[in-house]
Amino acid sequence: MGHPVEEILKEARRAKADLLVMGSHGKSGIGSVLGSVAFGVLQGQSRVPVLVVRK
């Protein structure tokens, strides 16, 4: 197991995903609103759209 962001992006490529759907439970500020992993995936060069669903 590696860093969550890297693992999510790697698995999305392996599965040839058309869309990533991620949950979020952050409280304030863009990083917190999205959650650190969701924010990292958005910044992590995702090749597919990312839908973040707030709690």
Residue-by-residue DSSP string for 9-27: HHHHHHTT-S-EEEEE---
Is 29 a residue whose pLDDT tops 60?
A: no
Owning domain of residue 35: 4-54
Greater pLDDT, 49 or 55 = 49
Cα–Cα distance, 47 to 16 (Å, whole number)? 10
- For 27, 29, 30, 33, 49, the CA distances from 17, given in Å and listed in that order, are 29, 29, 25, 24, 9
pTM above 0.85, yes or no: no
High-pLDDT (> 90) share of the chain, %: 38
pLDDT value, residue 54: 78
Query: Tens digits of per-residue pLDDT, 1-21?
Result: 678 999 999 999 999 999 999
Euclidean distance between CA atoms 18 and 45, whole angstroms: 14
Please count the structural domains in the chain.
Answer: 1
Give the tokens for residue 35. 């959650």
